[in-house]
Structure 1
Amino acid sequence: MLVAVRDHASSDHASIVPPGPTGAFGADVAGLEGFARTFLLAGFRLAGENGADRLGLAQWYADGLAAGTDPANPGRWIRPAESGQAKVEAASVALILDMTRPWIWDRLDPTVQQQVVDYLAVVVGDEGYPHNNWRWFRIVVQTFLRSVGGQWSREDIETDLSLLDSFARADGWISDGPLRAYDHYAGWALHLYPALWARMAGAQDLAAGRAERDRAALDRYLLDAVRLVGADGAPLLQGRSLVYRFAAAAPFWAGALSRVPSLSPGLLRRAASGVVGYFAPHVERCGALLSIGWHGPWPAVAQHYSGPSSPYWAAKGMLGLALPASHPVWTSTEEPLPQEGADQVFAVSAPGWLVSATRSDGIVRVVNHGTDYARAGDRGGDAPTYAQLGYSTATSPRLTDAGRIDPLEQSVALVDASGRATHRTGFTTVGVGLVGDGATAAVGSSVARAHWLTADPDHLDYGPGPSGEATDVALLRTLSVLRGAWEVRLVRVETLPDGPPPPAGLTLRVGGWAVSGEGPGQDRSRPADVAAAAGVAGLRSVVVGAGGFTAAGVRREHDVSPLGATTLTPWVSAAAVLDRWHVAVIGLDRATGDDSAPTTATLPHVTLSGADHVVVRWPDGTASTVPLAPAATAAANLALQDAPMSTG
């Protein structure tokens, strides 16, 4: 990767712009990103090799530093005062100059050192940093400046640390700002930078009072994160900035760097190398260049701020190279992921996720009752990578304009006669938790003020869904019971407490997993059984109406997913009836040669026990009883009954 980008560098090495459109911020930002983000990878390699440098990395990047920070150079870097994106890249430059101090910084000419200090110092006192992970960038830059005698502000650092602390949530999770923004930024930024910052030369006294607390939060977060990696190494295809790909491995290397107590070095390496290995064949096929995409080029996966060099933040996923060969993370034997040893089912309270990972197919499935990149009560549109009810390591949301305005896959929506579907952003989380001795099933519930949205035409995609004019329609109460490959989803339509009844003629629609791949795939519906199934690329997605639904089908689409040209999404629907529970059984697994809907014997059986409970009898013979009353579905009040059942 480091050698491949040199063909796209300026003659003075200050700018690297890989092939492709220069992005919304232009060539100057793209060139700086290309330098700074590959500088991360070069620095990790130099640090891990203790300065051994057969590729001449130190001098190559030192030349770029000299040219980029020279104010008289026509090709100089765009400065942090001129572009917000330069504030991000300045942190990478400062971090690696600190990490590789003996081999780059200490050997720079004093004039160049002063140029670098002058370039970085403009961030001191700058109030233009967003209230999210960006605050770590100002902290890192000023910490480096402090270590080399440059200008810095203790007040800035303490202010930023205090704001970042306010993003801490339960069980070591961190939200990327004050919204319900849970995604890979928790690991590749909000847990990574504390681990790296505490080791900077200028941070020793600043970090002393918090380093152990940050380590403990990382340790607890990793207990969940390690179970969110598919057996094939695939990370969840969820959240923004997916073009960073294997940056998702960064928190596992941070755990190794910090020597967290709860995960062994061999397990951390298995998770990190698995994520990098998942993408490696695709990168190799692209000539070791990273494009805007997921596997190969797929521009629709980008956010507004993405440019041709943006994907090189993937370098964070190679932080392990900064650890010497003698480190336990390299000398230990890789251990299997927890889901490679046994099925996993658990709940994560901060993002409101129910999680099931199955040993038989290596897929991790997340059912989402807490994340939408918004606040409870907001009335925005659903961001496909945040607000859907389900995400997995084997599927992708529809990442197109249609996916933003027409929620289908992993959705519960009311649809009018014109085909307009409601959105759920701003929903209220009722609770998530476990039922069953030995965590038999995960249960979660949320209530959405379902609304139609007339989207703002000038919406820029930074992660959240589109804004616009919202029209409230009804309350949609959703309860999920998750175990293995199956989710039992119960949905109830209720009148708004402060509004009129929903209009007549609405359809309640529940969408299942969207499966994507090359080739035509197969889709089959059984109208008499209210069942639909779709198969492509070895995956099977199933939705079966188990109560109240009257119709089923599969939507076929092309070029809406980075995982393949064909996308198939099964669904069930019914005329919307107020105050009645509708029940659907939703499944995702690896196809075993038959992509049709499963037989009755292999489906969960669902029984509504009056108005109080639902009983789910799972294919393996166990049963879970879950209360339907809204207050009782909160995690602290989830009831349990579990007993062996006859498969007959």
Structure 2
Amino acid sequence: MPSFAAQSPFASNPVATKDDLRNFLVGLLDPLAAHTSPGGARIQVGFTGTHFDEAAAQLEGFSRPIWGLASLLAGGGKYDGVERWVRGFSNGTNPDHEEFWGNMRNKDQRMVECSAIGFSLAVAKEHLWDALEDAGKKHLETWLGGMNDKEMPNTNWLWFRVFSNLGLSKVGSPRFDGKRMKADLDHLDTFYIGGGWSRDGPEGIVQLDYYSSSFAIQYAQLVYSKLAQAEDPDRCEEYRNRARQFAQDFVHYYDPEGRAIPFGRSLTYRFAMSSFWGAVAFADLDLPAPLTWGVVRGLQLRNIRWWAKQAGAYNADGTLTIGYVYPNQSMTENYNSPGSPYWCCKSFITLSLPLSHPFWASPEESYPASLLNTVKVLKHPFHIACSLSGHTYILSSGQQCSYPVKNSAAKYGKFGYSSAFGYSVAVGNGTLEEAGGDGALALSDDGGHQ
């Protein structure tokens, strides 16, 4: 009899080698062709409401896959559809084209999407920048540099302007603003609190989630430490030292199967949760024991491998759904458009490395046995990391999001978070069934009926 069990379109990929990882990326990029606008500048996978305009949402769909595409090209790989993005750069930044992304405004979602574009110019210039005609280059540098005089949120967003300027500097653009980049970096460094950890904002913010690691700050610091070593050696070495310390805490958020502990916001970015380990490799950073290159490779690939097999993370055509292991709007944020999940493409950064790199040359190793059956206090994020009886989880206290997000209490305020069970969010406030009260102390005042 035929099986009607849902299966991921990528379930057969073992995600064990560089070729496997490339094939997974190509499998994510190819379906986007059918959702790409004629001019190449916009990708619309579906429809949701966001707090920003639709043009920015479609730019998000265009830009986020570039994290993976640029890494593939930087590592000597080829992709037949690269022309779509080259054409999109030219048309999306042209004010006279119907697919123009729109001019940058203060605190604009467009700023977020500039980070992938800046990264792509820095690592894959000959494939993306050099392929543009002179007019296209002029439009792109003008549009990208348009954020330098705009107000930005006082958060990890400042890294997005750093990456824009880094990209502009690598292509020799006059729109590069070195003073602006240094000021942003100096301010971002005030977020640092010790032990490798940075909070996602100024003093008083108690938010140390995946944005403090793989989604933004640690990832960005490591990539910067590789790309700006010659120009900013002292800061780059400081970032590398932070990562060495941070890694010894961050490893406790992963279990032997490759799953990361769900905690905080933006979890629809999925295996971007493990992109820190790829950034470690990109930066050529040796870590303290027991984090050998084989262990780092295992931490990265097991997480991607696990996600490749989650059927609910993908639509039938191979595009990503909005949710976690299945489509779920209740746990998402008001800034999640259908293109948002492609932030996961940051985890393909190891495609930029040659096979001779120790990440690829070292055999994959299991999760370190010395970290199993342990309990570790993680001082800065207010977590107690537990690996006991085959269960990986954290006990949590003290964190909160500094601005309103959906179900913030569930994302930051529960007592425990598990790699095996995830967490639930409320879908209403009327009944016990709507509450999603796992990992929490819940009181009933209905006389014991529920």
Instruction: Give the TM bin, normalised by the shorter chain.
Output: 0.7 to 0.9
- 1:298 corresponds to: 328
Among residues 420, 424, 434, which one is paired with 1:398 in the alignment?
A: 424
- 2:254 corresponds to: 229
Contact 2:296 2:359 in 1 (8 A): yes
Question: When the two structures are aligned, how many residues end up with a matched partner?
Answer: 410
Question: 1:43 is aligned with what amino acid?
Answer: A
Question: 2:346 is aligned with what amino acid?
Answer: K
Seen in structure 2, the aligned counterparts of structure 1 residues 4 and 407 have a Cα distance that, compared at 3 Å, is closer
- Report the alpha carbon displacement of residue 307 of structure 1 after superposing the two structures with TM: 0.6
- 1:254 corresponds to: 279
Is 1:278 the equivalent of 2:306?
Answer: yes
- 2:437 corresponds to: 408
- Report the alpha carbon displacement of residue 365 of structure 1 after superposing the two structures with TM: 1.1
Among residues 199, 206, 212, which one is paired with 1:186 in the alignment?
A: 212
Contact 2:376 2:384 in 1 (8 A): yes
Structure with the larger RCO, 1 or 2 (CA within 8 Å, 6+ apart): 2
Cα distance in 1 between the residues matched to 2:323 and 2:345: 15
Which string of whole-angstrom CA distances, capped at 9 and with x for unpartnered residues, describes residues 166-220 of structure 1? Answer: 21123211211131101111112101112212333xx345421211110111111
Normalising by structure 1, we get a TM-score of 0.60
Is 1:61 the equivalent of 2:91?
Answer: no
- Report the alpha carbon displacement of residue 88 of structure 1 after superposing the two structures with TM: 0.7
- 1:479 corresponds to: none
Question: 2:321 is aligned with what amino acid?
Answer: S
- Report the alpha carbon displacement of residue 390 of structure 1 after superposing the two structures with TM: 0.9
Normalising by structure 2, we get a TM-score of 0.84
- 1:84 corresponds to: 108
- 2:11 corresponds to: none
Gaps of 5+ in 2: 1-27
Cα distance in 2 between the residues matched to 1:194 and 1:150: 24
Among residues 128, 144, 163, which one is paired with 1:104 in the alignment?
A: 128
- Report the alpha carbon displacement of residue 406 of structure 1 after superposing the two structures with TM: 5.7
Seen in structure 2, the aligned counterparts of structure 1 residues 104 and 285 have a Cα distance that, compared at 3 Å, is closer
Cα distance in 2 between the residues matched to 1:98 and 1:161: 17
Contact 1:246 1:279 in 2 (8 A): yes
- 1:131 corresponds to: 154
Contact 1:123 1:138 in 2 (8 A): yes
Cα distance in 2 between the residues matched to 1:137 and 1:341: 34
Is 1:30 the equivalent of 2:57?
Answer: yes
Cα distance in 2 between the residues matched to 1:243 and 1:407: 18
- 1:121 corresponds to: 145
Between structures 1 and 2, the one with greater strand share: 1
Contact 1:384 1:399 in 2 (8 A): yes
- Report the alpha carbon displacement of residue 287 of structure 1 after superposing the two structures with TM: 3.2
Which string of whole-angstrom CA distances, capped at 9 and with x for unpartnered residues, describes residues 115-150 of structure 1? Answer: 111101111122x21111101011111222234232
- 2:226 corresponds to: 199
- Report the alpha carbon displacement of residue 41 of structure 1 after superposing the two structures with TM: 1.2
- Report the alpha carbon displacement of residue 340 of structure 1 after superposing the two structures with TM: 8.1
Q: How does 1:493-572 map to 2 (within 5 A)?
A: none
Equivalent residue of 1:102, what SS?
helix
Contact 2:122 2:166 in 1 (8 A): no
- Report the alpha carbon displacement of residue 403 of structure 1 after superposing the two structures with TM: 7.5
- Report the alpha carbon displacement of residue 382 of structure 1 after superposing the two structures with TM: 5.8
Cα distance in 2 between the residues matched to 1:4 and 1:129: 33
Cα distance in 1 between the residues matched to 2:344 and 2:190: 27
Cα distance in 2 between the residues matched to 1:284 and 1:75: 27
Between structures 1 and 2, the one with greater helix share: 2
Gaps of 5+ in 1: 376-380, 420-550, 556-648
Percent identity, aligned pairs only?
25
- Report the alpha carbon displacement of residue 157 of structure 1 after superposing the two structures with TM: 2.1
Which string of whole-angstrom CA distances, capped at 9 and with x for unpartnered residues, describes residues 217-259 of structure 1? Answer: 1111111212211222111111000110000111001111222
- 2:74 corresponds to: 47
- 1:309 corresponds to: 339
Seen in structure 2, the aligned counterparts of structure 1 residues 392 and 26 have a Cα distance that, compared at 3 Å, is same
- Report the alpha carbon displacement of residue 401 of structure 1 after superposing the two structures with TM: 4.1
Cα distance in 1 between the residues matched to 2:356 and 2:82: 23
Cα distance in 1 between the residues matched to 2:153 and 2:73: 32
Cα distance in 1 between the residues matched to 2:329 and 2:436: 21
Seen in structure 2, the aligned counterparts of structure 1 residues 8 and 396 have a Cα distance that, compared at 3 Å, is same
Q: How does 1:342-353 map to 2 (within 5 A)?
A: 342-353=372-383
Question: 2:123 is aligned with what amino acid?
Answer: M
Which string of whole-angstrom CA distances, capped at 9 and with x for unpartnered residues, describes residues 78-111 of structure 1? Answer: 3322771100111211110111012221232111
